[in-house]
Amino acid sequence: MNVLITGASGFVGRAVTGEVVRAGHAVRALARRLPRTDDGPVVWVPGSVVSPEALSEAVRGCQAVIHLVGIIGEVGDQTFERVHHEGTLRVLEACRSAGVDRCLHMSALGTRPGAASRYHRTKWAAEEAVRGSGLRWTIFRPSVIQGPGDGFVNLFERMSRWSPVLPVVGRGTARLQPVSVGAVAQAFARALDAEVAIGKTYDLCGPDRMTLPEILATILRVTGRRRIRMRLPGAIARMQAGLLEAVYPRLLGRAAPLSRDQLLMLDEDNIGNPGPVERDLGVRSAPFEADIRRFLA
């Protein structure tokens, strides 16, 4: 099958693309900045997910699309609304025009109408567009994803190299259910030709439900470091996030490493049911500690 993967150059996109290629499919990949490495069987198409021209070129000759593009922070016109919602509408239009009827969509656990964060609300709008698209769709909702090059475990691991203190942002009592990027990639690759997955929304989460302090303790245990875990009071965390949001996009052209929207998400449980994806697609994530031990080593 020929498959278009949007967001193929990102952390999750690299793993999904590798798995889809290993499964014997040909990949066309869309991203604004193309990777420098030669990806062999992957044909790269430069462009934004909101550009109908780029999408119509990218989807040419494909039978399925894996739509992964998403952002965790806003920069300039890369807003949640534009990238998550409008981008998904454009992808669905491109699919319909090109006669592509299979669509695997990347959402996120916690996505629901009226969610506290704009990240989750715009992901919900995108899901609704996918469900109403008339295509044969499957939606995946991961909790936080860990793996080589992730922006979560690796962020705290790097911080723990030089800082005597690791910040616990948010209340520290909300539970996450981390899932390995390998399991996420397998789920997408296996769903491509799995009739059972059509019209279903799957949670992607691992076997462990952990609070942020427990996750930090595990990272420290695995790296053999001793650091103080300190809770950052809500008001200070919000002030710091507001400052980072003002400085990062303007001075560095990048999204802030911590935003007020992320703080809202960190204060709610992000847990799900790994049963259905294991039953239908045979996908099961490794336990958190064993998995991070592999890639942090």
Ligand X SMILES: NC(=O)c1ccc[n+]([C@@H]2O[C@H](COP(=O)([O-])OP(=O)(O)OC[C@H]3O[C@@H](n4cnc5c(N)ncnc54)[C@H](OP(=O)(O)O)[C@@H]3O)[C@@H](O)[C@H]2O)c1
Which residues make up the interface to ligand X (CB under 6 A)? 6-7, 9-13, 30-33, 48-50, 68-71, 78, 83, 106, 108, 142, 144-145, 152
CA dihedral of residues 100, 104, 108, 113 (deg, nearest 10) = 50
Residue 71 or 283: the one with the smaller Cβ distance to ligand X is 71
Distance in Å, CB of 226 to ligand X, minimum = 27
Kindly state the smallest distance separating residue 77's Cβ from ligand X, in Å. Answer: 9
- Please say whether the beta carbons of 104 and 200 come within 8 A: no
Least Å distance, CB 208 to ligand X, is 15
Q: Please, which residue, 78 or 240, has the CB nearer to ligand X?
A: 78
Is 32:8 a contact under the CB 8 Å cutoff? no
Q: Identify which of residues 48 and 262 has a Cβ nearer to ligand X in the complex.
A: 48
Tokens 């494909």, residue located: 62
Do the Cβ atoms of 227 and 160 come closer than 8 Å?
yes
How large is the greatest C-alpha to C-alpha distance in the chain, in angstroms? 56
Sign of CA dihedral 166, 170, 175, 181: negative
Q: What is the nearest approach in angstroms of ligand X to the Cβ of residue 163?
A: 22
Nearer to ligand X, 30 or 168 (CB): 30
Nearer to ligand X, 254 or 279 (CB): 254
Cβ atoms of 111 and 120 within 8 Å: the answer is yes
- State both tokens at 201: 């929304």
Give the residue from 274, 268, 271 showing the smallest Cα distance to 115. Answer: 268
Q: How far is the CB of 251 from ligand X (least distance, A)?
A: 19
- Residue number with CB closer to ligand X (58 or 100): 58
Tell me how far CA of residue 130 lies from CA of 34, 38, 133, 256, 286, in angstroms: 26, 32, 5, 29, 29
Q: How far is the CB of 270 from ligand X (least distance, A)?
A: 9
Residue 125 · residue 114 · CB < 8 Å: no
Nearer to ligand X, 38 or 195 (CB): 38
Beta carbon of residue 46, minimum distance to ligand X (angstroms, whole number): 9
Q: What distance lies between CA 165 and its chain's CA centroid?
A: 27
Residues whose CB falls within 8 Å of the CB of residue 156, separated by 6 or more in sequence, listed in order: 166, 215, 216, 219
Q: Which is nearer to ligand X, 235 or 272 (CB)?
A: 272
H or E element that contains 266:
helix 260-266
Contact 144, 108 (CB under 8 A): no
Q: How far is the CB of 174 from ligand X (least distance, A)?
A: 15
